[in-house]
Amino acid sequence: MRNDERFEIERAYDLLPHVIGASWACIWFRLNGIKKPTEDEFRNKTIEYFSLVEKIDQAYPADEKFESIKSYIKNRHKEEIEKILSGKNPEIEKRYKRYVDYG
């Protein structure tokens, strides 16, 4: 697959973990009155919400011409979860620090 064919998916996955995952996690912690979740609690809750988009690849038909992009989406989703769990997604870490500092 050419880089230009996956450009939009790459940009989406640059944003989805923190826009969907961390934003929804912050709301969940706030509404439950949890002001100082641990990093692991925050990361796991972020993954819980981010995982709601896991099957987004199913929006494309089961057609051979979509197989490479669908495969890329699945792999990128797994990579993002690994980055979140290991603390290597800087946007998630920034959101965690901001939440703990300002709730």
| Ranges of each domain in the chain | 3-102
Question: Using CB atoms within 10 A of its CB, is residue 31 exposed (0-12), middle (13-18) or buried (19+)?
Answer: exposed
pLDDT of the chain along its 103 residues, tens only?
A: 566 788 999 999 999 999 999 999 999 999 999 999 999 999 999 999 999 999 998 999 999 999 999 999 999 999 999 999 999 999 999 999 999 999 7
What is the residue-wise DSSP string for the chain? --HHHHHHHHHHHHHHIIIIIIHHHHHHHHHTT-SS--HHHHHHHHHHHHGGGGGGGGGS-S-GGGHHHHHHHHHHHHHHHHHHHHT--HHHHHHHHHHHHH-
Token representation of residue 63 = 């057609």
